[in-house]
Every structure is written in C-alpha cells, then in structure tokens.
A and B are shown apart, each in its own frame.
Chain A
Amino acid sequence: MRVILERSNLLKSLSHVHRVVERRNTIPILSNVLLAADGASLELKATDLDLEVTEAAQATVEQGGATTVPAHLLYDIVRKLPDGSEVMLKTDDNGTAMAVISGRSNFRLQCLPQGDFPALTAGQFSHIFRMDAAALRGLIEKTQFAISTEETRYYLNGIYLHTVEADGALKLRSVATDGHRLARAEFEAPAGSEGMPGIIIPRKTVGELQKLVDDPDVAVTVELSDTKIRFTIGSVVLTSKLIDGTFPDYQRVIPTGNDKELIIDRQSFSAAVDRVSTVSSERGRAVKLAISEGQVTLTVNNPDSGSATEELAASYDSDPIEIGFNARYLLDVAAQLSGTEARFMLADAGSPTVIQDTSDMHTLYVLMPMRV
C-alpha cells in the first residue's frame, strides 16, 4: 500500500475513528485502525467490537492495499505534523511495518495483518430513514445527561429511541433515565421510521454520535434492526450494537396529575442554585426549595461548612410546599433548558416533579425529590 494525502484530511478522519479505540485492550488488533487504500480514497476503520466507525478520506493511491497500525499512535503522529503538509503512508514489502513520511519526518509503525481485523457484521436492517443532523442532535443532547452509569441496570445505560403516537402525529422519541431523573425529547417522526422497534443506543455510541453530528445542515441516514443501528453522516459510517434489554415503561414514571405550577426565570434560578450549592462540599447534597405565593427560597445546609439561602421571585399561587432536590441534578436540568422560563409541576415533597421549558413543551424532565 502506498498513499499520499493531505495531513488535514487524514487528521479529520482519524479524529473521528480513533476515539472508538479503547486505550487499554486485551486483544492487540483492537488497538489498531484499519487502513485500506482503493481508488481515490483511504478508508479508515476502528472498532471496539460493539461500535465501529469507518470514514473515507480523499487520497492519491499510488498502490492499493490494506494494513492495520496502532490508532492512537498514528493519530498522535499526524496531529503533531505541521499544518498544510502532505503525508505518505507506505507499507513494507513484507507488510510488517508502515512508514509515515511527511517532509523530513519519518516514522515506522508496526502493523498487524488486516485479515485479523474484526468486522462488525451488520446483518439486515429492517428500517431506514433520513433525518436532519440538527434533529438527531437535539434528541441526543437533551437526554444524554440522564443516562445511567449503573452496570447492574444495564438497560438504562443508553438512550431509548422509539416512535410514539402523540398529539395526533407520529413522533420519534428519545428517553434516558438513571432512576433519579428522566429526560424525554421528541421530534416529528421521519418517513420510514414507522413501525421501528424501540431500541436502546449504548452510552458510548451516543457520545461518538454526538461528536459526529456537529454540522446541523447535513442529513443523516439511519438504518436499524432490533440488534444494530447504523448512522451515515457524510463520509462517516457509524455502526453499533444495541443494548439487549427492555427499557422500563417510562410513561408510568411521568406524573400527569401534578397540580402545583411554579414558573420561574430560568437563568436566575440556575445561577441561584449554583450559588447556594457552593456550600455543599460533597456530591448529592440537597437544595431545599421553599415555595410560597410569588416566591421561592433556596436553602442548602451543610453541617460541616455552613448554610446558604437565596430568594427568588416566581409565579406560584398554590399551597406552600417545601421540596428538596439534588443540586447537581437541578443544575443539569437547568442547563438543558434554553427558553427564558422554566415550569415546575409539583405534587408533594415525596413525589416526582416535572420540569419543562415553557417555550419547548415537547421536551420534558422528571426529577425525583430528596429528603431534606
């Protein structure tokens, strides 16, 4: 194999694929990136056996062929090469090493045979649809923070993507929860998604995907079956296994009968929560919200360091209520809201509370209160 390509092209493609490669691997070939030169492009592929990313970079192929080299090493080398330079990748005659040559720099990397590189067989996809990158990004970003990291409940370690009939139209919905909070976002279901199975996209895939959909104008092609999903974004193809499990019936969790409505300025609320939680030295400290007509008082009590209170004007005309939330979770939700006002629907101090952005009623957050 002998190819020449622009350093910036190679770097961009490598930056997309190399993240998939785990830093520590028990199987040596999984540390490598597969390079295959053919026609006018160099295809790069990396996998962790659950997730595979391939990308084609424009290249001058002088001699076709394929090999695998350590992904992070190659990325680090290319990253340090001068901007605007050209890079030549050239394998030895016996295929045991690959030279990376650029200007006066000359590296030799050890290769592993491309035949050993595992392929994530995608099988047959049952559904295919196209959607805007912006919509996909919205579904991910609004819910990603609530994904659980608890291994025991592995079925919560991803985003649940499914279609649902709501307000007389079919919606594509994403839901994530860790048992303390739940996030739900939705968009018009794209044509072709009707009848798709409900799937759970693993956390790592979600993270990679989020980085790939940074250009909102690109259309994303989504293909899926009940075990795999593939996203094609421009020249990048991401294929991932899905979490084999049943996502809990989240509808049950979203309270519908909460009758106490609190409307508050989002920015000042968020800033106030951030301020009062300064005195809570450890994670999981509660912020108490004492809500009465026209105002909310935030309190944090930390027996080790002190206490903090802050009063905020708010629109509220139900019976006074005191309720506690984890400061971290409250901040996470506040960070998700983009409008000027946040709406809290409360029942009592022990029941889940619904939080929404008054300008975006399609997105919804549920927070479990804490004892205070």
Chain B
Amino acid sequence: MAVNATANGICRDCLAPAAGTGKRCHSCGSPRVLRHPELEALPLAHIDCDAFYAAVEKRDNPELRDKPVIIGGGKRGVVSTACYIARIHGVRSAMPMFKALEACPEAIVIKPDMEKYVRVGREVRAMMEALTPMVEPISIDEAFLDLAGTQKLHGAPPAHVLAAFARRIEEEIGITVSVGLSYCKFLAKVASDLNKPRGFSVIGRAEALDFLAAQPVTTIWGVGKAFAATLERDGVRMIGQLQKMEKNDLMRRYGTIGSRLYHLSRGEDDRTVKPRSEAKSVSSETTFNHDISAASDLVPVLRALSERVSTRLKKADIAGRTVVLKLKTADFRTRTRNRQLADPTRLADRIFHTGLDMLMRELDGTRFRLLGVGVSDLTDAAKADPPDLVDTLSHKRALAEGAIDSLREKFGREAVETGYTFGRGRAGQPQREE
C-alpha cells in the first residue's frame, strides 16, 4: 500500500512519485508537483499544444523567444495564434489584426507557414500514437487520448505516462503542451484549458459536480455566444443552475441540445475516443481577405487550391472520383456542388477544370467569403487518369504536370506556376490594397 500512497502524486519535471503534501518535489525541488486523489484512476486525456503556431516559430527563431509574437495576417487581418507574451497585452486569437496591434504595438507579426505547422503537428501526433492507438485528433494541435488499459504496457498509470509525454515533447520537439486528465472527453477538454500553458489539470469524478457548478454555461461544448445569450435571457448563466433543472424541462425549452445540457452539466459524457478513420476525402479551402464575386478573382484561387489537393493526393498515392466544390457566401451560407468523373483523378488540371465548370454556374454576382475544392470517393492511384480516346492530349498534360511537380519538388513551388496563379501568392488570392 505504500506504493499507492505515494503514487497519487508525481513531479512533472523529474517524474518522481511525489508523496505527502509538500509544495515541492522531494527529489528535485521543483514546484511542478501534480497531486490528485484519483490520479491513477483517470484514463482520458485531452492534449493541446500551447500557442502552437507561435511556439513553433519561437522554436525555430530563438530571437523571438521573449518577444510578443502574433501569427496571422492576410488582409482580412485576423490573429490566428498569439504567443503568451502577446496575450498578456490582451491579444486573442480571431481578433482583428489592427486591434491586436493597438493592444500590443511591439508585437512581431508572422505569416502562417502551414506546411511547417502540419509537419510539427504530425510529429506530435506520431508521439501520441506511440502511447495508445486510441488517439482522436481534433485539429492539427490537439487530440483526445484514451489510455485505459495501457498501464501494463507502459508500466505506469496514464497520469505518469502523460507527464512523461509532456516532458518529451518539450525536449524533443521544443514546444509545450497542456494536458487535461479526467474520466470523460468533456471534462478532459475543460481540464486542459485550466492552467495553460504547460498545464496539467485533473478533474476527478468526486469533484466534477462541484467544479462544474461554478463554471459559466459557455464551458459546455456546443454552447456558443448565441446560445449563451438565449440561456442568459432565461436567467441561466452558470452550470450549477443547469444541474438543478430537469431533463424534460431543458429539452422542452431548448430541444435536443437540452439533453446535452442536462448530461454535460452533470459531468456525464459517454462519447468515446474514436481513432481517426481513413480519409474519405481530400480537400483544401481558403477564406478570402475580402469577399469576392468576380470570376477573375475566384478562378486563380480555385487553381491554387486544386494544385494543393492534387499535391496531397499524389503524396498519398490516392485518387478521387468525385470533385467537390464548396463556396460560402458573404452571409455565411454554404453551397457545395459535386460532380462524378468517369475515372478517378489526382491531376490538378482535371480537378481544376471540373471545379471550374461547377464554379461558373454559381457566379451570379453573389459575394463569397470562402472557396474550397476537394475530391472524395477515394481509390488507389493505379486506376487514376487512364489514357483517353478522345482527349489525346490528356496524357501529355499529365506528363507535363508530373514534370512541373518534380521541378517544384526541387526548386520550390514558385519555380513553375500557371498563368492563373502567377504573381498572386500561394493562395491565389487577389493582391489588393486595402
């Protein structure tokens, strides 16, 4: 039993079991001691990288380390990630860039390098998948992990494995993560947010109800600004109030989400961690700096997106039979159109022309804020783009595209560009002055 008594705590720096109640670790003196009565029993974790894009940039350029860094840009000027120094000044993600710079004029603004972030994100994910196959990625920089049943494998309970994992990420990748540990997805996610950055928070079954009671309703997944306003109108602001309400009452008032409010407010969440299934589609989309409606502005974007999709298909050695076009209007209505091809394709040229044909039918002066293109109905590449009887040049175009691909591989993506995207930057967006 001695082992158990000491094991309800761990030092997050030296990973030594931390017994007793002291503020510091007995072995290394670190104050980062994690203690919780249920520490050994909780299997479900949410791991979130801290200020991910900014952290990667700081890692790659140590000069930025002590400066406020904002990742974002483009003319629509939205902060995509702000480092914690910038956050001290009040910069938040999704904040308009001009406001962010008002709050923190000395901030260094860096345009996002998504390819790099995706690469680092994959490294992190690979390390997660080494812990358990039950990894459900939520986005590039966060995931749920279910470590139930891995104690024998790792020779340690999940909390210890996660603390070691967080340390390894810092050492090997050079960024920090925050970990939330609980018994269900909802509370694991809430926990990871509790003491960011470099956090490790635990919400056990025993304190779940009391903990939640003191949280605002917006803590509940699915309660956004609009719904919170509805609840506010009904006088409900804290989760504690929801805990006192009946399920029937909540469902009568708010429909199906009422049931979710009822269960989540009581810390009941039976969603399981679902490892990512095989990709069903490959797509790429972009939100414009300005809402645009003209073909001359949209077509280059479509071309650039088609090339991205094609690149990803070629890398994965797959092809898709259906081309999907997605548009979001200035008033946030989404239009999707799809068209089945006679044969699967992975050529930028075919994706582009099929998408173009669908796009042209949608252009009626409507202003769009987003354009996306992708392929679904995926197959392996062997059957893609067979020679065609009628279009005898298709084979030559495919060869030309292959040549362009290898040139880009060698000399960068701007080595060869089509006239559609030339001089328009990576996203093919109109380079217009504000």
Contact = CB atoms under 8 A, between A and B. Distances in A.
B60 interface: no
Interface stretch (A70-78, A80-88, A146-154, A293-301): A146-154
Contact of A151 (B357, B387, B389, B391): B357
A368 B387 contact: yes
B342 A179 contact: yes
Contact of B389 (A150, A177, A350, A370): A177
A180 to B, nearest CB: 7
Given A150-B342, A152-B339, A180-B342, A252 B383 contact: no
Contact of A150 (B341, B382, B383, B392): B341
Contact of B339 (A151, A182, A368): A151
B384 to A, nearest CB: 11
Interface in A147-198: 148-153, 156, 177-182
Contacts of A368: 386-389
B389 A182 contact: yes
Interface string B378-408: 0000110011111110000000000000000
Contacts of A271: none
A1 B339 CA distance: 46
Nearest to B341: A150
A12 B195 CA distance: 78
B389 A179 contact: yes
Interface residues of B, number: 16
A366 interface: yes
Nearest to B323: A152
A361 interface: no
A253 interface: yes
A181 B387 CA distance: 11
A151 B342 CA distance: 9
B116 interface: no
B387 A350 contact: yes
A284 interface: yes
A371 interface: yes
Q: Which of A284, A350, A371 has the most CB of B within 10 A?
A: A284
Given A284-B383, A371-B382, A148 B342 contact: yes
Interface string A110-151: 000000000000000000000000000000000000001111
Interface in B336-363: 339, 341-343, 353-354, 357
A293 B354 CA distance: 45
Nearest to B382: A371
Contacts of A182: 389-390
A248 interface: yes
Given A180-B386, A350-B387, A152 B353 contact: yes
A177 B388 CA distance: 10
Q: Which of B386, B389, B391 has the most CB of A within 10 A?
A: B389
Nearest to B354: A152
Contacts of B391: 153, 179, 248
Contacts of B354: 152
Nearest to A247: B390
Contacts of B353: 152
B342 A371 contact: no
Nearest to A155: B390
Given A178-B342, A179-B342, A371-B382, A152 B357 contact: yes
A152 B340 CA distance: 10
Interface string B302-345: 00000000000000000000000000000000000001011100
Contacts of A252: 392
A155 B108 CA distance: 55
A246 B346 CA distance: 27
Q: Which of B339, B343, B386 has the most CB of A within 10 A?
A: B386
Contact of B386 (A253, A366, A371): A371
B324 to A, nearest CB: 14
A350 B342 CA distance: 19
Interface string A317-350: 0000000000000000000000000000000001
A144 to B, nearest CB: 17
A234 B388 CA distance: 41
B386 A177 contact: no
A58 B243 CA distance: 76
Contacts of A350: 387
A156 B382 CA distance: 25
Nearest to B350: A152
A352 interface: yes
B47 to A, nearest CB: 37
Nearest to A366: B389
Contacts of B343: 284
A280 B122 CA distance: 36
Interface in A243-267: 248, 250, 252-253
Contacts of B392: 252-253
A272 to B, nearest CB: 23
A112 B32 CA distance: 80
A248 B353 CA distance: 18
B211 to A, nearest CB: 51
Contacts of A180: 342, 386, 388-389
B418 to A, nearest CB: 19
Nearest to A249: B390
Interface in B76-116: none
Nearest to A282: B379
A51 B226 CA distance: 50
B342 A149 contact: yes
Interface string B356-377: 0100000000000000000000
Closest 7 CB pairs of A and B: A179-B388, A248-B390, A150-B342, A253-B389, A179-B390, A368-B389, A179-B389
Given A152-B353, A178-B342, A180-B342, 6 more contacts: A152-B341, A179-B390, A180-B386, A182-B390, A253-B389, A350-B387
Interface of B: 339, 341-343, 353-354, 357, 382-383, 386-392
5 contacts: A148-B342, A178-B342, A180-B386, A182-B390, A284-B383
